[in-house]
Each structure stands twice: as structure tokens, then as C-alpha cells.
Structure 1
Amino acid sequence: MQPYPVVPRIPEDQPFIVRPSLRKRAVVLGGFVLALLAFLGCVLGLGAIGSENGLALLVVFLVIAIFFVGLVGLQVWLLATGGPVLAVGPAGLWIKTRPSRGQAIWLPWEAIGMISRRRWSFEKMLCVAPRDPRAEQKLGAFTAFDSMVTQAAFGTGFTATLNFADRSEQEILQAVAYFAGGRVPLT
């Protein structure tokens, strides 16, 4: 049995709630895709100069462009529409157990071993490491699969975005420090 409550979505009645920002994520990932497509367009354009297959190369480019735009659009939608990623209150915090969709877990401050801030590529994350390793067990097969990358990169499956959130990184860290009240080491 799971030692901490797990719910399908973070409750909205908490004093401080952090939601993902669709706009911020779309701007960064969209810029990356546009740069990649511009490069690919230049390469295919150079190949089309003086070629009889110019139309075929244009079709290939359009198919690749639609695929990448659709893939990035799906990723942004999955990350930004799953509800809040973090909620903090005087007794503890709620944090998503899956990076893309779904469930969240309640951890009282006494059950948290450490909270740290880490960076991976463009993403800055708030990482919550529970004292009890059982907190990360029995959360379901999809959660185990989804959190493998965050577990490997950050040492915990409980992470929340800091820079792709509807609140500033500083505001989030201040709220966590305030509500934790010195009960949890913040690094």
C-alpha cells in the first residue's frame, strides 16, 4: 500500500499553486523547431538548386515540418494541460508524480528528505526527495516509465518545473522556503 495519498490531480485549494505555462514552453520549443526546420530547409533548398527533383524535395520538407510541428505540439500540450505541477501549504506539498500527465502525491514536510534546484538542458527543476523510498513505489506502470528520465537525471521522480511555470522561479523558491519553515533542507 502507498504510504502517502495519491490523487489524479493536485487539489486547487492550496495556499500556493504552480501551474505549467503553455506560452513559455511553446515559445522555447517552437523556436527550437523553427531553427531546426530553417536549417533543414536551407539544406534541402541547396539540394534542389539545379535539380529535377525540386518538387519532391519540397514535399519531403513539408512532411518533415508537419511531423515535427505535430510532435512538439503534442509534447507541449501533454506538459501544459495536466493541471498544477506543485502546490505548497503549511503542512506539506503536493507534487506531480508524472512529468507529462496525471497523478500527484501528498508529502508532509516531515516526509521530505531534501528539496533542491537542478538544471537539465533548458529546464530548471524543483526536485523533492522523500525520506521514505516507498513514496516512489507502487505509483503505477505508466508513472514508473514516465519518471525514469527524471529519476536518472535528478535522483528523484518528484520534480516540478521552475522556469516553464506560471510563476517566477524566485517566487516558487520563496514560497517553498516560507511554508517549509526550516523543516526541510533547501539546496
Structure 2
Amino acid sequence: MTRTAKRIPEDLPFVARPNLGKRALLLGAVTLLVGLVIACPLGLAVSADGDAAVLLVIPVIMLFFALLMGLQLWLVSSGGPVLAVGPDGLWIKTRPTRGQAIWLPWAAIDRIYLRRWSLEKMVCVKPRDPRAGTGLGAFTALDSGLQQAFFGTGFTATANFADRSEEEIMRAVVGYAAGRCRVG
């Protein structure tokens, strides 16, 4: 019925991969925002204090955040595709960062829907059997539990940070599901 793999195979008719450019733009904007939030109060403190050496903290903090964002970008984008859909079912990542994916035949899927959390819009796949995906390891269980809390399922794939548009992804899901599970 279900099976797992280290990466989503790319031989299905429809494959969605992470879009590095979109994600980098967002993470870069977050890094700059953090820099500004830190720079403004420090700039005010320096103008009152007169000690300009305090301003050296800003590039160090921004570099730290840039490194964290770079790590996050690498983790999200290096795990291969996020979703693959075909006539028999779909592959979806079991973790939002690195590899590991699960195959769910259409008969094993209860519902597929879109859910937004902050700037991220996710394709959510809810299996009929709530035990699907158990036994995949401690880190996967932790990630899956967090996703379950935010999205109602542990199986999610980005819709707005993928190399395909949200409409294209949902059109493929609806077409290949062919009424065998609820979509929407």
C-alpha cells in the first residue's frame, strides 16, 4: 500500500520541486528586516551615547542570520522534489526539510486541500489511515507532529514556493485523483 523512499522519484508525470529563487528572496528579506529591526534601536543608542563601536554588532548579527537562512535554504532545497503525482497515487515529503518521502495510492488518501500558514501555502494530504507514516524515525515524528498542528496532516508540500504554480499543482492533483479522493 504505502512505501517510503529517501527522495521522491522524478519519473512520475507531474513533479514539483522547490523554487530556490523564491525561497531565497523571502529569506533574504527576512534577514534584512531583522537587520533593520536591530539597527534602528542601536543607531538611536549610539546617537545618544556617542559610542559608534556598538554599530559593529549589526553586521555580525546580520551575518549570523544570513548563515541561518542559508542553512534553512539548503535544507529545504536539497531534499529533491516536494511532490510527484501520477495515475496511481502521489509521492509527498514526510519532512519539510531533507529527503524522505512516502507513496500514497489514491485509495489511501482521504482528502487533499490547501492551507496557509504565514507566507507559506501548502498542499496538504490527509491519509485515510492515521497510522500512515508512523515508524519513519524520531525527527520525522517531530516534524510531522508540528505539521499536524498547523496543517491538520503530517504530509505537506509547498504550493507557493515550488517551481510550478499553485494552480498547476492543484490542476494536476485534481486530474490524476480523478474523483478517487476529496480535493479542495
Q: Partner of 1:133: helix, strand, or coil?
A: coil
Contact 1:100 1:146 in 2 (8 A): no
Aligned-partner Cα distance in 1 for 2:179–2:168: 17
The alignment of Structure 1 onto Structure 2 pairs a total of residues equal to 184
- Give the CA deviation at 1:94: 0.3
- Aligned to 1:134, what secondary structure does the other structure show? coil
Q: Contact between 2:102 and 2:133, CA under 8 Å: does it hold in 1?
A: no
Structure 2: which 5+ runs fail to align? none
Structure 2 CA distance, aligned partners of 1:50 and 1:145? Answer: 46
Q: 1:110 aligns with which of 107, 110, 134?
A: 107
CA RMSD in angstroms, aligned pairs only: 1.2
Post-superposition Cα deviations, 1:74-115, rounded to whole Å, max 9, x if no partner, equal 111111111000000000000000010120000000000000
Residue 51 of structure 1: CA displacement? 2.6
SS state at 1:84 partner: coil
**Aligned twin of 2:72:** 75
CA distances 1:142-184 after superposition (whole Å, capped 9, x unpaired)? 1112222211111111000000000000000000000000111
* Residue in 1 that maps onto 2:3: 5
Question: Alignment partner for residue 29 of structure 1, among 17, 27, 30?
Answer: 27
Q: Which runs of 5+ in 1 are unaligned?
A: none
Work out whether 1:134 is the aligned partner of 2:131: yes
> With structure 1 as the length reference, what TM-score do the two structures score?
0.94
TM-score normalised by structure 2 residue count: 0.96
Aligned to 1:182: 179
Measured against aligned partners, the alpha-carbon deviations of 1:101-136 in whole angstroms (never above 9, x if no partner) come to: 120000000000000110000000000000011212
Q: Matched residues in 1 for 2:147 and 2:27: separation?
A: 19
Identity of aligned residues (%): 59
In structure 2, the residue matched to 1:17 is: 15
- Displacement, 1:50? 4.7
Separation (CA, whole Å) in 2 of partners of 1:142 and 1:39:
32
Q: Distance in 1 between matches of 2:32 and 2:56?
A: 17
Asked if structure 1 preserves the Cα contact closer than 8 Å seen for 2:75 and 2:98, the reply is yes
Deviations 1:17-58 (A, max 9, x none): 000011001111211221221232122111111534321x12
Residue type matched to 1:107 in 2? L
Corresponding residue for residue 160 of structure 2: 163
